[in-house]
């Protein structure tokens, strides 16, 4: 049985620097933006994410793309 992966929607997740806690560990907060088209290129998603970083109060630690994939059986 062959299975195909069909990319549906994607999300952009920004991990933000929330400072340091009392134990000296970094606090990471996140903000997720949904309804990103699955067909969007990584370069386009990154460009949008960079634009969104300018709207954040906290510094950005990392940018992630989360893809939602539907698995369907090939006929």
Q: DSSP string spanning 36-47?
A: E-TTS-HHHHHH
Residues 54 and 3: beta-carbon distance below 8 Å: no
21-60 pLDDT per residue, tens:
999 999 999 999 999 998 899 999 999 999 999 999 999 9
Rounded mean pLDDT, 9-28: 96
Residues 30-60 as b or e (16 or more Cβ within 10 Å = b): eeeeeebeeebeeeebeeebeeeeeeeebeb
pLDDT exceeds cutoff 80 at 75: no
Residues 19 and 59: beta-carbon distance below 8 Å: no
Ordered by start, the domain boundaries in the chain are: 3-73
Q: Is pTM, for the whole model, over 0.85? A: no
């Amino acid at each position: 049985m062959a299975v195909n992966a069909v990319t549906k929607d994607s999300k952009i997740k920004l991990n933000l620097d929330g400072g340091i806690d009392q134990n000296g560990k970094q606090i990471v907060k996140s903000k997720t933006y949904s309804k990103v088209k699955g067909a969007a290129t990584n370069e386009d998603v990154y460009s949008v994410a960079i634009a969104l970083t300018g709207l954040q109060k906290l510094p950005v630690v990392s940018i992630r793309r989360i893809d939602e994939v539907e698995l369907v059986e090939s006929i």
